Amino acid sequence: MDILNKIVIDKRKEVAAKKVVFPIGFLQKAPLFTREKISLVKSIKSGSGIIAEFKRRSPSKQVINQNSNVIDVVKGYEEAGVSGISILADTKYFGGAIDDLLQARNETKLPILRKEFIIDTYQIYEAKALGADVILLIAAILSSDEIIEFSRLSHLIGLEVLLEIHNESELKKSDLTFVDLVGVNNRNLKTFETSLEISKSLSGLIPSGKVKISESGISTVEAIQNLKQYGFEGFLIGENFMKTENPGEAAIKFLKEL
């Protein structure tokens, strides 16, 4: 069983437990549920295009950074001039917490992407209640019908949608009607190796009306300049910043070069 399947199995158990304690009706009454979203699409098109990620660890690299404070990192990212912030709040596999997202929301007026393994509509309502502006849908773990259902619901409650793909077949099965951004994950989920060639090979297949995002394995300004030639406007960078002692400062230096 690969890591994605393990995560999905655990995520279903997690969501089932949450539904009992915090039903959707409770989430809809949260103060942040009625806030107007901040558009990641607009922010990318008018800014640096960098989506900087906060994450403590990952299944592929284990511990990345257990010492950095989410508030300090988010402040640094905003000072650097990023277009958006991604918060990985999964606890079991990434060492995150829901509180990370809430603290980030309190500290920034930038759009926030809730990086999550969404397998149930409940998580979409939860993202809205926690102050997210964008949700991630991973085509590899969703059916064609789920992609349509989840992206449509997201738009109905005021969230943008980033659909993540790894290959051509995942793109072909996906109805992009309610998808705002299409992200290409450069990481092979079986070997965990990354290659920017994945983004380059899929770039021409993504409809021109969708904002193209390249994810994972981006560590140099040269890589971004190269990917821009393939139509990519957004670049999700996490590990390159988070592996340093001061992720915010690392982002500031990176964007000055950019």
Amino acid 52: pLDDT: 98
List, in sequence order, every residue forming a beta bridge with 198; answer none if it has no partner: none
Amino acid 3: pLDDT: 83
pTM over 0.85: yes
Segments of the chain with pLDDT less than 50: none
Amino acid 1: pLDDT: 60
Amino acid 42: pLDDT: 98
State the catalytic residues.
53, 55, 115, 164, 185, 215-216
CA distances for 169 relative to 162, 165, 173, 194, angstroms: 17, 9, 6, 19
| pLDDT, tens digit (0-9, with 9 covering 90-100), for 179-234 | 999 999 998 776 778 999 999 999 999 999 999 999 999 999 999 999 999 999 99
Rounded to whole angstroms, the Cα distance separating 188 from 159 reads: 28
Amino acid 237: pLDDT: 97
Rounded to whole angstroms, the Cα distance separating 210 from 195 reads: 22
Amino acid 41: pLDDT: 98
**Domains observed in the chain:** 3-257 (3.20.20.70)
